[in-house]
Amino acid sequence: MNTMRAGLLLAALTAIFVAVGYFIGGGQGMVIAFGVAVATNAFAYWNSDKMVLRMYGAREVNAASAPEFYALVARLAARAKLPMPKVYILDSDQPNAFATGRDPEHAAVAASSGLLRILNEREIAGVMAHELSHVRNRDTLIMTITATLAGAIGMLAHFAFFLGGRRDERGSGNAIAAIAMMIIAPLAAALVQFAISRTREYGADAGGAEISGDPLALASALSKLEQAAHQVPNVQAEANPATAHMFIVNPLSGQGTDNLFSTHPAAGNRIARLQQIARSMNAAAAPSNPVPSRSGARSGPWGEDAPPVRRPKGPWG
Residue 307 within any structural domain of the chain: no
306 has which bridge partners?
Answer: 298
pLDDT for residue 42: 74
pLDDT for residue 94: 95
By the 8 A CB rule, do 182 and 160 touch? yes
Confidence of residue 305 (pLDDT cuts 50, 70, 90): very low
pLDDT digits (tens, 9 = 90+) for 102-122: 889 999 999 999 999 999 999
124: domain range? 2-302
pLDDT digits (tens, 9 = 90+) for 48-86: 788 889 999 999 999 999 999 999 999 999 999 999 999
Residue 308 within any structural domain of the chain: no
Confidence of residue 302 (pLDDT cuts 50, 70, 90): very low
By the 8 A CB rule, do 73 and 127 touch? no
By the 8 A CB rule, do 174 and 39 touch? no
What would you report as the CA-atom Rg of the chain, rounded to the nearest whole angstrom? Answer: 21
Residue 314 within any structural domain of the chain: no
Residue 27 within any structural domain of the chain: yes
How many domains, the chain? 1
CA–CA separation, 49 and 102 (whole Å)? 7
Residues catalogued as catalytic: 131
Residue 309 within any structural domain of the chain: no
- For 141-150, 210-219, 275-284, 295-304, which range has the lowest pLDDT when averaged over its residues? 295-304
Confidence of residue 243 (pLDDT cuts 50, 70, 90): confident
pLDDT digits (tens, 9 = 90+) for 128-172: 999 999 999 988 877 767 766 666 666 666 665 555 555 444 444
Residue 311 within any structural domain of the chain: no
DSSP tag of 111: E
pTM: 0.73
pLDDT for residue 312: 41
pLDDT for residue 161: 57
Other CB atoms within 10 A of residue 41 CB: 18
Q: What is the mean pLDDT of residues 22-41?
A: 74
Residue 157 within any structural domain of the chain: yes
Residue 313 within any structural domain of the chain: no
